[in-house]
C-alpha cells in the first residue's frame, strides 16, 4: 500500500495548499480512478452537436436551440426525480405514466371542472405525492422490490390515465398560464436579469465558502479555480441567453419570437433546489448514506424506511411537474401523455448524465446534462429525417453505452481500490 | 489504576427463550485502561457488548457507570453516557468521505444547512488528537482507504463524541501485519488519552500487546478478570477453551469431564496470585 509514502505528509490539516496544477492532477487521478462524473455526457453532447451541425446546418439555429429546451424539458424534469430513486439503487418504472396521470388530473381540474390554474397544478402535484407515498410504502414497509412495485404501477397508471379521459378522448388545455410554461418566452431583459442573478448568487456562495474555509485554516480549492468556475458559469449562461434572445420568428412582421423559454427558469429553479437538498442538507447526506451502505446508515441512527419512502415521493412529484410541462407543450392531455418513450428517456437521461444504477452516486445536474443529450439526439435525428425506428435504436445504444461506462467505472474503481 | 471502574456490571443474566446466554456475569472497565474481552465463539462476548450498548435488555443485574447505578434501555441511552461501539463490519459508507462518515446521523447544522467547515475542523482535531497521520485528505472517499485506515476512521468516529467508553469488536480481524500494528497503537492511545477501552479479540498476540486487563468468558460465565501481567498466554487459552486454569476460573466441578488432560499440568504454575 502507499501508506508509508503518505505517512510522511503529516496530518491532513497541514497538507500544503493545493495549487491549480495539483487541483488538475487530483481531478485527473479521480477520473482515472473511475470517478468520471458527467464527463461522458459533456463529451457526448459536444460530439453530437458537432456531427448534427455539420450534417444539418439548421440544427445550429437559434430557433432550434430554443426547441431543444422545450422538447427535452418534460423528460429532464422526470429524470431529476429519478436521480433520487437511483441514488438508493432503486428504480421507478412508473414515473412516465405517473406523469401522465398527474397531467390528466391537471387537465380535468382546469378544463373539465374549470378551476384556476394554480388549483390544477396543486392537484397534479398532490396526485404525484400520493402515488409516490403508495409506491414508497409498498417498497420500504411491505418489502416488495421497487422493480415489481413500479412495474405494477406502470400498468395501473396507464389504466387510470385512460379512465380519467373517458376511454381515449383527449382534453385540451386552454388556460393561458399553463400554456405559457412550454410555449412562451421571457422578455429578453428578464432573461439577462435572471442570468445575472444566478451568476452573482453562485459567485457569492462560492467566494463566501472559500473565505470561510480559508479563515478556519481548512484546505481550500485554489482561488483561481473558484474564479474559473464562476467565469465558466457566466460564459455558458451568457452565450445561452444571448442566443435565446435572438429573433427566431420566420416573419418578424407577423410575430416576434425571442427570449428565454419560460420552462428554462423552471428547470433551473428546481435544479438549484434539489441540488441544495442533496448536497447541503442532512436529508441529502442521508440519501447518499442509505444508497451507499444501508446497514451503516441504520446504525448511524438514520430512519432508512423514511428515506426510502421520501425518494419515491420526490420522484413522483417531479413526474407530476414533468407531466404539467408535457401537457403545456402539447396543449392537451391524451392517454399517451407520459407513455411510449418518456420513461425510458428519463431513466436514460439520468444514467447518461452519470448517475449510477448501482446507487450511491449521482447528482441532479446529471439529469439535466443527460436530458440535453437525449433532446439533442431526438432533435438532430428528426432534422436528418430519420424514422422513429432509427431514433429509438440510437437512443437505446447511447443508453447501453452509458450503462456500460457506469459498470466499467465501477469495476475500475474496485480494481484500483477506490471503492 | 483508578479506584472505581468507569463501567461495572454485576450479576448480569440474559436469556433468549430457554437458552441462557449470560449467567451472573460481572465485568469492569477502567478509564485509561484497555480491557480485553476474550472467549470462544458462542461464549457470549457479542451478547455482553450488545447488553452494554443497549441493543439487548438484560434479564437481571446492575449497571454502574462512574460508580452510579444507571439503566440502559436503548443505544441512545448508551450514547448519552458516552458509550460507543465500533463494530466488526465497520459500518462506513464507501461513497461518502471521511468527514461525512464521521458525522453520519449526527451532522452539525447551521439552521437547515450542513455546517461543513465546523465538521471538517472537528474531524481534523479528533484525528490529530489520536496522532493519525495516515490519511491524505479528510475529503477523500472512504472507498479509497486501506483496511487499517478504515478502521482508524471508524474508531475516530466513535471518539468524536466525547465518548468515555469505546468498545471495539475485533478491530484487527481483517487486517494485515502493518495495519494491525497501526490499529493496536491507536487502541493504546485511546486508553492513554483517558478513555476506557474494551477490546474484543481472538488474537492472543493482540490481546497481550495492548491490554491492561483480560476478562475471559466461558459458556456465558465470566471465569476470570485479571491483570494482563499476572497471566500467561497458555492460561488465557485454557480459560477460553476449558473455563478454568489452575486456581483461576471455574472451580472444579464433578460434571466437567474434559479437565483431565489440560487441568492436570497447570496447578504447578501457580504464579497467578493476582487474580481477584
Best to test chain A binding among B78, B87, B89, B96 (most A CBs inside 10 Å):
B96
Grid cell for residue A271: 435544479
For residue A314, pLDDT over 60 is answered with yes
CB contact under 8 A, A289 and B89: no
Under 8 Å between Cβ of B230 and B272: yes
Q: Reduce the DSSP state of residue B270 to 3 states and report it.
A: coil
DSSP state of A57: G
User: Could you tell me what percent of chain A has a pLDDT over 70?
Assistant: 93
- For residue A338, give the nearest of A72, A70, A69, A74 by alpha carbon: A74
- The string of pLDDT tens digits covering residues A316-328 is 999 999 999 999 9
- The string of pLDDT tens digits covering residues A161-198 is 988 887 668 898 989 999 999 989 999 999 999 999 99
Give the pLDDT confidence score for residue A290 in this predicted structure: 95
Under 8 Å between Cβ of A300 and A112: no
- Phi, psi dihedrals of residue A70, rounded to the nearest 5°: -70, -35
- For residue A86, give the nearest of A396, A351, A395 by alpha carbon: A351
Complete domains list, chain B, with CATH? 7-230 (3.40.50.300)
- The string of pLDDT tens digits covering residues A131-150 is 999 999 999 999 999 999 99
In chain A, what's the furthest Cα-to-Cα distance? 75
Domain coordinates of chain A in residue numbers? 36-184+261-416
Under 8 Å between Cβ of A354 and A127: no
Least confident range of A191-200, B131-140, B191-200: B131-140
C-alpha distances in Å from residue A369, one per residue of A13, A188, A280: 35, 24, 21
CB contact under 8 A, B134 and A13: no
Best to test chain A binding among B49, B87, B95 (most A CBs inside 10 Å):
B95
Query: What CATH number labels A36-184+261-416?
Result: 1.10.3470
Which of A12, A288, A417 is the closest to B144 by Cβ? A417
CB contact under 8 A, B127 and A281: no
Grid cell for residue B31: 478509564
Under 8 Å between Cβ of B42 and B22: no
- Provide the mean pLDDT of chain A: 87
Distance CA A6, CA B155 (A): 20
Distance CA A62, CA B94 (A): 44
- The string of pLDDT tens digits covering residues A250-288 is 777 777 888 899 999 999 999 999 999 999 999 999 999
Give the pLDDT confidence score for residue B265 in this predicted structure: 35
Give the pLDDT confidence score for residue B262 in this predicted structure: 37
CB contact under 8 A, A295 and B137: no
Give the pLDDT confidence score for residue A16 in this predicted structure: 57
A300: chain B residues, CB-CB within 8 Å: 91, 104-106
CB pairs under 8 A between A and B: 115
For residue B130, pLDDT over 70 is answered with yes
For residue B191, pLDDT over 80 is answered with yes
Band (pLDDT 50/70/90 cuts) for residue A30 is confident
Give the pLDDT confidence score for residue A93 in this predicted structure: 94
**pTM (two decimals):** 0.84
Band (pLDDT 50/70/90 cuts) for residue A222 is confident
* Closest chain B C-alpha to A289 CA, distance in angstroms: 6
Q: In which order are the strands placed within the sheet that holds B196-200? A: B83-86, B165-169, B196-200, B34-39, B213-218, B221-227
Distance CA A347, CA A342 (A): 9
- The string of pLDDT tens digits covering residues B75-100 is 778 888 889 888 777 678 988 999 99
Distance CA A314, CA A78 (A): 10
Give the pLDDT confidence score for residue A13 in this predicted structure: 41
For residue A12, pLDDT over 70 is answered with no
Under 8 Å between Cβ of A90 and A139: yes
B93: chain A residues, CB-CB within 8 Å: 288-289, 292-293, 296-297, 360
**Helix residue ranges per DSSP H, B160-232:** 177-192, 204-210
CB contact under 8 A, A296 and B107: no
Least confident range of A290-299, A352-361, A409-418, B144-153: A409-418
- Across the range A119-126, mean pLDDT stands at 96
Bridge partners of B222?
B217
Using only the alpha carbons of chain A, give its radius of gyration: 22
CB contact under 8 A, A280 and B138: no
Distance CA A131, CA A125 (A): 10
Mutual orientation of helices A342-353 and A62-87 as an angle, nearest 10°? 80
- The string of pLDDT tens digits covering residues A49-83 is 999 999 888 888 888 899 899 999 999 999 999 99
Under 8 Å between Cβ of B7 and B29: yes
Is ipTM over 0.90?
no
Distance CA A145, CA A373 (A): 30
Distance CA A383, CA A49 (A): 12
For residue B2, pLDDT over 60 is answered with no
Grid cell for residue B238: 485454557
CB contact under 8 A, A360 and B91: no
Which of B90, B93, B107 is the closest to A292 by Cβ? B93
Distance CA B253, CA B259 (A): 9
Band (pLDDT 50/70/90 cuts) for residue A87 is very high
Nearest residue on chain A to B106, judged by CA atoms? A300
The answer to whether the Cα torsion of A97, A303, B58, B223 is positive or negative is: positive
- The string of pLDDT tens digits covering residues B16-43 is 988 888 989 999 999 999 999 998 888 8
Amino acid at each position: 500500500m502507499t501508506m508509508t509514502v503518505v505517512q510522511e505528509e503529516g496530518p491532513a490539516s497541514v497538507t500544503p495548499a493545493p495549487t491549480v496544477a495539483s487541483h488538475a492532477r487530483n481531478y485527473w487521478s479521480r477520473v482515472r480512478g473511475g470517478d468520471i462524473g458527467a464527463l461522458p455526457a459533456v463529451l457526448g453532447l459536444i460530439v453530437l452537436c458537432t456531427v448534427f451541425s455539420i450534417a444539418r446546418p439548421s440544427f445550429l439555429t437559434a430557433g432550434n436551440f430554443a426547441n431543444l429546451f422545450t422538447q427535452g424539458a418534460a423528460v429532464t424534469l422526470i429524470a431529476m426525480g429519478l436521480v433520487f430513486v437511483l441514488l438508493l439503487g432503486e428504480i421507478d418504472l412508473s414515473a412516465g405514466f405517473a406523469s401522465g396521470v398527474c397531467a390528466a388530473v391537471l387537465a380535468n381540474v382546469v378544463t373539465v371542472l374549470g378551476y384556476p390554474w394554480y388549483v390544477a397544478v396543486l392537484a397534479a402535484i398532490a396526485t404525484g405525492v400520493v402515488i409516490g407515498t403508495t409506491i414508497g410504502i409498498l417498497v420500504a414497509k411491505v418489502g416488495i422490490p421497487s422493480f415489481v412495485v413500479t412495474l405494477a404501477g406502470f400498468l395501473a397508471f396507464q389504466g387510470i390515465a385512460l379512465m380519467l379521459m373517458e376511454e381515449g378522448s383527449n382534453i385540451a388545455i386552454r388556460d393561458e398560464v399553463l400554456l405559457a410554461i412550454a410555449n412562451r418566452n421571457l422578455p429578453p431583459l428578464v432573461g439577462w436579469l435572471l442570468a445575472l442573478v444566478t451568476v452573482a448568487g453562485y459567485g457569492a456562495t462560492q467566494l463566501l465558502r472559500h473565505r470561510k474555509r480559508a479563515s478556519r485554516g481548512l484546505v481550500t480549492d485554489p482561488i483561481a479555480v473558484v474564479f474559473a468556475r464562476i467565469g465558466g458559469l457566466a460564459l455558458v449562461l451568457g452565450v445561452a441567453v444571448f442566443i435565446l434572445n435572438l429573433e427566431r420568428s420566420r416573419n418578424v412582421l407577423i410575430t416576434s419570437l425571442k427570449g428565454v423559454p419560460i420552462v428554462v427558469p423552471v428547470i433551473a429553479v428546481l435544479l438549484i433546489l434539489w441540488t441544495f437538498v442533496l448536497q447541503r442538507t442532512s436529508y441529502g447526506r442521508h440519501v447518499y448514506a442509505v444508497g451507499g451502505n444501508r446497514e451503516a446508515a441504520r446504525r448511524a441512527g438514520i430512519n432508512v424506511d423514511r428515506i426510502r419512502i421520501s425518494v419515491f415521493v420526490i420522484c413522483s412529484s417531479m413526474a407530476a411537474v414533468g407531466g404539467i410541462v408535457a401537457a403545456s407543450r402539447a396543449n392537451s392531455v391524451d392517454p399517451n401523455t407520459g407513455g411510449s418513450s418518456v420513461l425510458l428517456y428519463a431513466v436514460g437521461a439520468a444514467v447518461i448524465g452519470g448517475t449510477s444504477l448501482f446507487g450511491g452516486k449521482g447528482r441532479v445536474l446529471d439529469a439535466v446534462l443527460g436530458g440535453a443529450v437525449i433532446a439533442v439526439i431526438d432533435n438532430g435525428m428528426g432534422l436528418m429525417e430519420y424514422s422513429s425506428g432509427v431514433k429509438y435504436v440510437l437512443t437505446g445504444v447511447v443508453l447501453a453505452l452509458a450503462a456500460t461506462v457506469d459498470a466499467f467505472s465501477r469495476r475500475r474503481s474496485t480494481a484500483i481500490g477506490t471503492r | 489504576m483508578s479506584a472505581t471502574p468507569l463501567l461495572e456490571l454485576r450479576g448480569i443474566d440474559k436469556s433468549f427463550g430457554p437458552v441462557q446466554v449470560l449467567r451472573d456475569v460481572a465485568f469492569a472497565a477502567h478509564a485509561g485502561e484497555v480491557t480485553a474481552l476474550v472467549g470462544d465463539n458462542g461464549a457470549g462476548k457479542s451478547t455482553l457488548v450488545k447488553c452494554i450498548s443497549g441493543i439487548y435488555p438484560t434479564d437481571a443485574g446492575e449497571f454502574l457507570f462512574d460508580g452510579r447505578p444507571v439503566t440502559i434501555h436503548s443505544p441512545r441511552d448508551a450514547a448519552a453516557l458516552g458509550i460507543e461501539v465500533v463494530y466488526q463490519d465497520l459500518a462506513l459508507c464507501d461513497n461518502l468521505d471521511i468527514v461525512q462518515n464521521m458525522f453520519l446521523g449526527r451532522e452539525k447544522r447551521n439552521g437547515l444547512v450542513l455546517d461543513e467547515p465546523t465538521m471538517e475542523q472537528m474531524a481534523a482535531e479528533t484525528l490529530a488528537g489520536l496522532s493519525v497521520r495516515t490519511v491524505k485528505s479528510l475529503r477523500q472517499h472512504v472507498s479509497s482507504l486501506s483496511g487499517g485506515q478504515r478502521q482508524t476512521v471508524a474508531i475516530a468516529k466513535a471518539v468524536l463524541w466525547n465518548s468515555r467508553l469505546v468498545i471495539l469488536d475485533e478491530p484487527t480481524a481483517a487486517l494485515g501485519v502493518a495495519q494491525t500494528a497501526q490499529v493496536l497503537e491507536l487502541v493504546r492511545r485511546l486508553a492513554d488519552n483517558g478513555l476506557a477501552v474494551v477490546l474484543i479479540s481472538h488474537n492472543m498476540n493482540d490481546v497481550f500487546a495492548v491490554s491492561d486487563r483480560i476478562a475471559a468468558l466461558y459458556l456465558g460465565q465470566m471465569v476470570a478478570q485479571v491483570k494482563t501481567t499476572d497471566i500467561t498466554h497458555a492460561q488465557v487459552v485454557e480459560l477460553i477453551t476449558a473455563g478454568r486454569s489452575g486456581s483461576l476460573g471455574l472451580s472444579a466441578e464433578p460434571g466437567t469431564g474434559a479437565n483431565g488432560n489440560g487441568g492436570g499440568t497447570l496447578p504447578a504454575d501457580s504464579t497467578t496470585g493476582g487474580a481477584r
